[in-house]
Amino acid sequence: MNSLLLALGLVGLCHGAPQATTTASSTTSASSSACTGNTASTRSEWCNYDISTDYYTEVPDTGVTREYWFNLEQVTIAPDGYSRVALTVNGTIPGPTIIADWGDTVVVHLTNSLTESHNGTSLHFHGVRQNYTNQMDGVASITQCPSAPGESYTYTWRATQYGSSWYHSHWALQAWEGVFGGILINGPATADYDEDLGHLFLNDWSHQTVDEQWYTAELRGPVTQDNGLINGTNVYGDDGSSSQIGSRFNITVESGTSYRLRLVNAALDTHFKFSIDNHTLQVITNDFVPITPYNTTVLDIAMGMLRLLCHYT
């Protein structure tokens, strides 16, 4: 029987070695030998630790630093073929994925290049336990002053948890203008799988900016969005019509191979029901919390939630 393994809430990729990031602006340094992690048949293990290790009291000491350079910029972009102004991290929606191993130190240098809109900004790492690093939580006007245009801010925190999450702007409505991306922390899992396909972002999308919709929403309630995106892409217009624009998101899979997906609902105002035709989904984690796997054919995922899936084809 074909089945698909899913993880509730935000989840990160889990495999023996970090994948390459989607941007060249990242570096890795290590003062100790790299952990070999786990294999397709030993996902519950991670070096000298396993899924039963309490990460609130015990964390691997890797001696590794993962360093990223992010530039927040205003661009013209067309996720569904319709061009509009948006805010991005390094020019893409979603932005680059932060990838680390359980126990690594993560350093993110954020430069605010919003010189046209004159927006301040900050970057929040959703669900990351900022124990003794509260000043790195990235919540403007609470844990830091917003970074002004032309300024840079460096965030440093340790990956004491494992799984998947996402980062996003915590200033005004920037997160829904495009300032977000994935966080993937490799570690053990509650189910085995062959390959990790990484994050799958679900977004609603409008051909107006979110800021343009603000006053209408205040007076009349939530505005119906023009489209939905999967990992920052979709078509717009009727199927079969010569006027249809954009492109759909595609994944290539092989029969007999199990895959892990990391779902994030990064929508402004939309709940999603996620399913894959003729597949059963197995949910294995919720945010950074591994759970006892359970099966479903449809996954309800609310805004800001993350889920982990694996499936067999």
CA distance 253 to 79: 24
Within a domain: residue 11? yes
Asked whether 183 and 128 are in contact (CB, 8 A), the reply is yes
For the whole prediction, is pTM greater than 0.85?
yes
Within a domain: residue 163? yes
CA distance 176 to 84: 13
Per-residue confidence (pLDDT) for residue 21, from 0 to 100:
38
Q: Which domain holds residue 167?
A: 3-32+46-312
CA distance 312 to 35: 27
Q: State the CB neighbour count (10 A cutoff) for residue 42.
A: 14
Q: State the CB neighbour count (10 A cutoff) for residue 251.
A: 10
CA distance 310 to 283: 8
Within a domain: residue 38? no
Per-residue confidence (pLDDT) for residue 18, from 0 to 100:
37
Element (H, E) at 217: helix 210-220
- In the chain, the amino acid numbered 221 is G
Cβ neighbors of 100 (< 8 A, separation 6 or more) are 18, 64, 66, 106, 159, 184, 185, 186
Within a domain: residue 71? yes
Each residue of 191-220: pLDDT tens digit?
Answer: 999 999 999 999 999 999 999 999 999 999
Cβ neighbors of 170 (< 8 A, separation 6 or more) are 122, 123, 124, 138, 139, 140
Within a domain: residue 247? yes
Specify the CATH number for the domain of residue 153: 2.60.40.420
- In the chain, the amino acid numbered 48 is N
Q: Which of 198, 286, 259, 257 has its CA nearest to residue 5?
A: 259
Sign for the CA dihedral angle at 111, 113, 118, 119 comes to negative
Longest dimension (CA), the chain: 59
Per-residue confidence (pLDDT) for residue 31, from 0 to 100:
47
- 58 burial level (CB within 10 Å; 0-12, 13-18, 19+): exposed
Which residues of the chain, if any, have pLDDT below 70?
A: 1-35, 306-313
Each residue of 234-243: pLDDT tens digit?
Answer: 999 999 999 9
CA distance 19 to 16: 9
260 conformational bin, left if phi > 0, alpha if psi -120 to 50, beta if neither? beta
Asked whether 133 and 91 are in contact (CB, 8 A), the reply is no
Domain tally for the chain?
A: 1
Within a domain: residue 292? yes
Per-residue confidence (pLDDT) for residue 308, from 0 to 100:
63
Within a domain: residue 37? no
Within a domain: residue 243? yes
Q: Which of 290, 230, 242, 253 has its CA nearest to residue 94?
A: 230
